[in-house]
Structure formats: structure tokens, C-alpha cells
């Protein structure tokens, strides 16, 4: 608009100069045209020869941590840039929106951006847009830079020292005596070292006692697989009106608050339980039907935790299938030797009937029930009553309750059996 005003003023001076033949108006006309050309050239040159590079320290973070990145602004021209505004379009919550910089000729400027991780998910850092103008404020130009980087924020995990599962039984109640090529918690015997044996199989005490390398032989885990079933049915969730203070950001001088929802409690419980069981060398799998079906087969390797955390980071309670439908559809995944950890906020008691059918097959179950009534949702007494009749252990989690306390002792004590 300012450029248009200057142009109209120049045209007016030209018209007056033509009508009056006064030299002053001719000089004003040429001066205003030169001002427009100079201002545009200045604004345009400020955006040329400028590059932006984003250096992300890590592309994985966790809720409660801080994501750090460096923005490198390079001026590849010998002429200085008086002011360049960098506008960052990253979609990560609480991410800094940008800054203004002065760039000397052939110089580099660095800015460190620290973003508190308050919400799990897959976020995009970038793109950025460069803005600049002239000293007269006539033109303001912009130049987009499309470079982006993804960062995944894992859900928060809590230590659960007192969380326990019911033991599972294999057909006939007999232990498995089959040798395993994987490291399990069950050592059967020791033998002489042979070429190709992994160093983590070496039994150092026997090696020191006998004077030769001895390795451990392992058996399959008789306690079987553990399936964590995460209920992401959209209609089973509730969101509390108040927010929870995650931590205080001294840099911003305010508390960082996050919304309280059954969805986030369910995801955090699943991540914490998964980590707890994997640390105990259990075979753990994950099953969820959110925006799409997600099945991670049971494993005990270290990479399994990151596979589960990555899945839980992006899952959303957008599921259109109820927990009852999920249990029916996925029933073939569970064998008699399986243990299920069902994490849900559903108050619809019909899913308990589907769970009962699995219990009849010899599958063990534990329920982590996130009480949506405490979030302002519906009461779930009828569901808890049915679970109690089936002697299924139920851990009840209420809004504001620390997860390690909620998962310390079942509120409904059962055997997890038929």
C-alpha cells in the first residue's frame, strides 16, 4: 500500500508538472520514481544470497524433555543485510515462531531453539519464510524456504516397580524345555564355548572356575507372550475441563500446561507397562485400532521398546471400532499361553463378554481401567462389576492420580483366570 501511495504521488507530481511546467514537480516526480526503484532493489537484495540450515540434535524426544535445534543463517554476499526476519512454520507446540537478524557480509549467525516437549506425536520442523524490507518501509518482500525435518516425541513413561501380571500356563501346565537361540530369563545349563557364540552368553563365574570359556544355554520363557491392547475407540474417551501443569519453564516464566484426557492416560500407561515388561525380559506385543490398525508382534529385543513408543507416539483416539469389536477381530492373535493387558476407558460392558470368551480359552488378562467419570465422562461401575465377577485383576486409574501409584495394587483383585 505504501508503494502504491508513493507511485500515485509521483503520478500526481508529473500531471502537475505537465500543467504548470514548474521544474520542482519534475524533480519530485523523478525523485519519487528513484525512491521506489531503490527501495525495491534494497528489499530484493536483502533476501538474495541468504541460506537457512536447520541442525537438529536428535529426532527423538519424550514428553517432559526439551528438543534442541540450531538454525544457521548464512549471508553468502559481501554486502550486509540490515535486517532479515526468519518466520518458522513448525507445527510443534510451543515452538518459537521466529526472530530478526542482522547479517554482515559473508558471515554466519547461529540461533539455538529450545522447545519443551508437551505433546506426543510426529511433528514437522520447518519450513521457514524469510522477510525483509527497505529502510523507508515501502516494500516488504518474502522468500519461502521449503526445507523440513521431522521429529517424533514419545509419550511419557513412568517407572512401575510394583506392577505385576498373573502367570500364564502352557497347555497341560507343563514347562517348556525347548532350547532357545535367544537370550531369555531361563538358564537351563552351561556348556563349552564354540566359535560363533555371542559374548552375552558367557558365564563368567564358570569360566573363572574352570579356566576355559563356558556359555549359558537358555530355554523358552514358560510365562509366554504379553499383549498390550490399547483401546483407541473415539467414543470411549473423555477430556477434563482443567489442565495439568507439566513443568515450569523458567525461560518463558510460566507453567507449561497440557490437557487432561483419557487418551493420554491410556497411551502413557501402555508405554510405561511396555517398558516395564521389556526390562523384565518379557515377550511384549502391542495392538491398537486408532486411525488405523496397528499390530506389533511380541518380541523381547531392545528395539521392541522403540517400535512400541513410535507407534504410541502417533496413535490417536480416532478409532471407529469398539473394544468389543477389536477383541473379536483379533482373537486369533492370542494363544492359550498369552497374557493380555487391556488398557481402556470404555464403560460399555459388552466388551467384557468378548474378554470372557478369551478367558475360557485359557488366556490370562489384566485390565487397566482409566476412569472416564473422573474426567467428567460416564460412570463405569457396571463394567467393573462384571470384571469382578470374572476375577480379572483391575487397576483403576483416575484423573490426577500418579500412574505408579495407580498400578501398584489392583482395585479389583482377581486371578486373571477363567
pLDDT for position 53: 93
Whether the CB-CB separation of 296 and 307 falls below 8 Å is answered with yes
Residue 188: pLDDT band (50, 70, 90) is low
In the predicted model, what is the mean pLDDT of residues 139-156? 94
pLDDT at position 159: 93
The pTM assigned to this predicted structure is 0.81
| pLDDT tier at 250, thresholds 50, 70, 90 | low
Q: Which residue has the higher pLDDT, 271 or 218?
A: 271
What pLDDT score does 346 carry? 97
Grade residue 293 by pLDDT with cuts at 50, 70 and 90: very high
- Range name among 22-26, 115-119, 187-191, 225-229 with the lowest pLDDT average: 187-191
**pLDDT above 70 coverage of the chain, percent:** 88
Measured distance CA(232)–CA(290) in Å, rounded = 5
pLDDT bucket at 190, cuts 50 / 70 / 90: confident
- The answer to whether 336 and 363 are in contact (CB under 8 A) is yes
Q: Which of 4-8, 314-318, 337-341, 406-410: highest mean pLDDT? A: 314-318
Domains annotated on the chain, with CATH: 2-46 (no CATH), 50-154 (2.60.40.10), 177-219 (no CATH), 226-406 (3.40.50.410)
User: What confidence score (pLDDT) does residue 210 get?
Assistant: 87
Tell me how far apart the 2 most distant CA atoms of the chain are, in Å: 116
Q: How confident is the model at residue 42 (pLDDT cuts 50, 70, 90)?
A: very high
- Mean pLDDT, the chain, as a whole number? 87
Tens of pLDDT, residue by residue over 318-337, are: 999 999 999 999 999 998 88
Rounded CA-CA distance 47/141 in Å is: 8
For 127, residues 6+ apart whose C-beta sits below 8 A from its C-beta are 89, 144, 145, 146, 147, 148
Q: Which helix (H) or strand (E) covers residue 266, if one does?
A: helix 262-279
pLDDT of residue 173: 37
pLDDT single digits (tens) 71-106: 999 999 999 998 999 999 999 998 988 889 999 999
Report the range of poorest mean pLDDT among 150-159, 161-170, 241-250. Answer: 241-250
Amino acid at each position: 500500500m505504501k508503494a502504491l501511495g508513493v507511485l500515485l504521488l509521483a503520478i500526481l507530481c508529473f500531471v502537475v508538472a505537465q500543467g504548470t511546467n514548474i521544474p520542482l514537480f519534475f524533480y519530485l516526480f523523478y525523485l519519487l520514481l528513484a525512491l521506489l526503484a531503490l527501495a525495491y532493489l534494497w528489499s530484493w537484495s536483502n533476501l538474495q544470497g541468504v541460506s537457512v540450515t536447520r541442525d537438529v540434535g536428535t529426532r527423538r524426544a519424550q514428553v517432559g524433555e526439551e528438543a534442541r535445534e540450531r538454525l544457521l543463517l548464512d549471508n553468502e554476499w559481501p554486502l550486509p543485510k540490515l535486517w532479515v526476519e526468519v518466520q518458522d512454520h513448525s507445527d510443534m507446540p510451543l515452538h518459537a515462531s521466529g526472530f530478526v537478524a542482522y547479517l554482515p557480509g559473508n558471515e554466519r549467525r547461529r540461533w539455538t531453539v529450545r522447545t519443551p516437549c508437551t505433546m506426543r506425536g510426529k511433528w514437522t520442523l520447518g519450513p521457514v519464510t524469510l522477510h525483509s524490507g527497505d529502510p523507508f518501509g515501502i516494500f516488504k518482500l518474502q522468500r519461502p524456504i521449503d526445507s523440513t525435518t521431522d521429529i517424533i516425541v514419545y509419550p511419557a513413561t513412568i517407572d512401575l516397580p510394583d506392577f505385576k501380571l498373573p502367570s500364564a500356563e502352557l497347555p497341560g501346565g507343563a514347562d517348556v524345555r525347548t532350547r532357545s537361540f535367544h537370550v531369555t530369563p531361563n538358564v537351563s545349563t552351561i556348556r563349552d564355548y564354540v566359535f560363533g557364540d555371542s559374548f552375552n552368553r558367557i558365564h563368567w563365574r564358570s569360566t573363572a572356575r574352570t579356566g576355559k570359556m563356558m556359555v549359558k544355554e537358555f530355554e523358552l520363557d514358560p510365562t509366554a507372550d504379553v499383549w498390550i491392547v490399547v483401546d483407541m475407540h473415539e467414543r470411549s474417551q473423555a477430556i477434563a475441563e482443567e489442565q495439568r501443569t507439566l513443568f515450569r519453564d523458567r525461560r518463558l516464566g510460566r507453567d507449561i500446561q497440557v490437557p487432561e484426557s483419557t487418551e493420554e492416560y491410556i497411551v502413557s500407561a501402555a508405554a510405561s507397562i511396555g517398558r516395564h515388561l521389556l526390562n523384565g525380559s518379557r515377550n511384549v506385543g502391542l495392538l491398537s485400532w486408532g486411525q488405523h490398525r496397528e499390530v506389533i508382534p511380541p518380541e523381547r529385543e531392545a528395539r521392541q521398546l522403540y517400535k512400541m513408543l513410535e507407534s504410541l507416539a502417533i496413535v490417536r483416539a480416532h478409532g471407529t471400532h469398539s473394544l468389543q469389536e477389536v477383541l473379536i477381530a483379533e482373537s486369533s492373535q492370542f494363544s492359550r499361553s498369552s497374557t493380555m493387558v487391556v488398557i481402556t476407558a470404555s464403560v460399555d460392558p459388552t466388551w467384557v463378554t468378548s474378554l470372557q470368551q478369551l478367558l475360557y480359552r485359557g488366556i490370562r488378562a489384566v485390565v487397566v481401567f482409566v476412569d472416564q467419570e473422573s474426567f467428567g465422562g460416564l460412570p463405569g461401575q457396571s463394567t467393573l462389576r462384571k470384571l469382578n465377577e470374572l476375577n480379572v485383576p483391575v487397576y483403576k486409574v483416575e484423573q490426577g492420580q500418579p500412574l505408579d501409584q495407580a498400578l501398584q495394587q489392583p482395585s479389583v483383585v482377581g486371578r486373571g483366570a477363567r
